[in-house]
Structure 1
């Protein structure tokens, strides 16, 4: 039975990923601050990764409003380093890292995109702590993979909504009219674990809206199955 460490396993994304992987036959090691775990503690992360075939790293402070800049950097950047170090120490074969569409610096009035739809080749101009932490962690994954040859898959979801949240929303409510359904994010994670990949790759995950998920489609065969629940 393959074994996977899922950090942030009590969160919206990490919890859904952990449940789906367990249903698919994975042995899931859950790791979350709600259970007393801390990605800032290298020993805790290493102990959790021992014996794992893969890591899905979803633990993070998820917005600039959710912590101080120092807290965001410590959790999102140092925490990712601890995950990568543990993966190397224990011979983990793949790391899937959750980044964000905010790495481009075009979210919440921060900047204007060069063109629409925004794709994975758009310049990374983020300057706020949260987006900066995600950009730094992406770069860390790439450099670490170059050194270790262990593949890293960076998933860049836009606004993630479940059934209830999408039913309450409309394209006018969301920046660039963009969201990705939680189930589609989980499916992308499963594909990232199952698909043979060499090296480092980054890919946007978007259902409807002005973001281009071509890399995810070409690399993983991923296609979102959820759009708006009705025509608005």
Structure 2
């Protein structure tokens, strides 16, 4: 069993906490660095939590001096598109400048393996219904631009300093820990599936559907929802790829299956056995009709295969977590 120690930055957040659990179960030592601005200390239960952030180079230096890390997995980004438009300075400082602090500290300590949480937002407006890695990168907001900048930095650091990295571009992370220990806890919540389930549980009065006249099978937007556990599995495979001295990669991660907003609402009704209150709203600016990943490269290069691709399974795990949230928080 592997004994390497890994640093999971942002490991008290939604995806990072699931990643910490998977890494611990795989036999790795896990150290979590999180400033808890959006994460929760109790979510970092599968690692040693260090409360702090990437903006403090002195604290980073002390952390890397205290531990010998085999690799770093970086999930600590601000990720709200609308907020990034209102506060681009905050996004570039956190997502770009702070990542440079991390990479430079890694370089001083000869840590040369890096897994980066990227995003489909680097592509901007889709030119095709299914997006491959070759799709043009024209991000339309500071969030997407900040992530693209980091991908460019990783390529330059690889060329000049020997850093090996895997950037994984998520589409729509969804669901919750199949064992029910962990789940989505955004405040405020902005993701479709938890919002729908909050409407099902009565914690929200309704779910808003923005646009019913798109050129799709039922008039609502189609998106690619990938189960958070499948997402973490891809990270684990990427880590193993780097630990085996594999080359740097940048890969799209999605189910490859598109579900419409209405199909997700209908699925939630099936899974919960409850009627979902819906309110139809006008389209939002910038919402493409269809956004689905082509993840053939991730399957080929990493041997990745989603285990929880079925929509009802994703919803069932998220619903189990939503029911727990009603009791706990």
Q: Structure 1 residues 174, 216: CA separation in 2 closer, same or farther (over 3 Å shift)?
A: farther
Q: Is the 8 A contact 1:167 1:229 kept in 2?
A: no
1:7 equivalent to 2:9? Answer yes
Q: Relative to 1, partners in 2 of residues 1:127 and 1:57: Cα closer, same or farther, differing over 3 Å?
A: same
Residues 172 and 166 of structure 1, relative CA distance in 2, 3 Å threshold: farther
Cα separation, partners in 2 of 1:18 and 1:172, compared to 1, 3 Å: farther
Q: Quick one: distance in 2 between partners of 1:175 and 1:8?
A: 30
The structure that has the greater radius of gyration is 2
Q: Which runs of 4+ in 1 moved over 6 A?
A: 171-174
Aligned-residue offset at 1:167: 11
User: Where do 1:1-232 residues align within 5 Å?
Assistant: 1-34=3-36, 36-50=51-65, 51-66=68-83, 68-105=87-124, 111=125, 113-163=126-176, 165=193, 168=196, 175-195=221-241, 196-207=244-255, 208-209=257-258, 210-230=292-312
- Cα distance in 1 for partners of 2:219, 2:310 equals 12
**RMSD across aligned positions (CA):** 2.4
Q: Tell me, what secondary structure is at the counterpart of 2:78?
A: coil
SS of 1:178's partner is strand
Q: Quote the offset at 1:32 in angstroms.
A: 0.4
What 5-or-longer segments of structure 2 have no aligned partner?
A: 37-49, 177-182, 184-192, 198-216, 259-291, 314-329
- Specify the SS of the correspondent of 1:123: coil
Could you tell me whether the CA contact under 8 Å between 2:92 and 2:146 is conserved in 1?
yes
- 2:294 and 2:88 map into 1 onto residues whose CA distance is 29
Q: Alignment partner of 1:216: what SS? A: helix
Query: Which protein is richer in strand relative to its size?
Result: 2
TM-score if structure 2 supplies the norm length?
A: 0.63
CA contact (8 A) 1:5 1:49 kept: no
Please say which of residues 171-180 and 68-77 is displaced more in the overlay: 171-180
Q: Any idea what SS the aligned residue of 1:179 has? A: strand
Aligned residue pair count: 224
In the TM superposition, residue 175 of structure 1 has moved relative to its aligned partner by 4.8
CA contact (8 A) 1:61 1:72 kept: yes
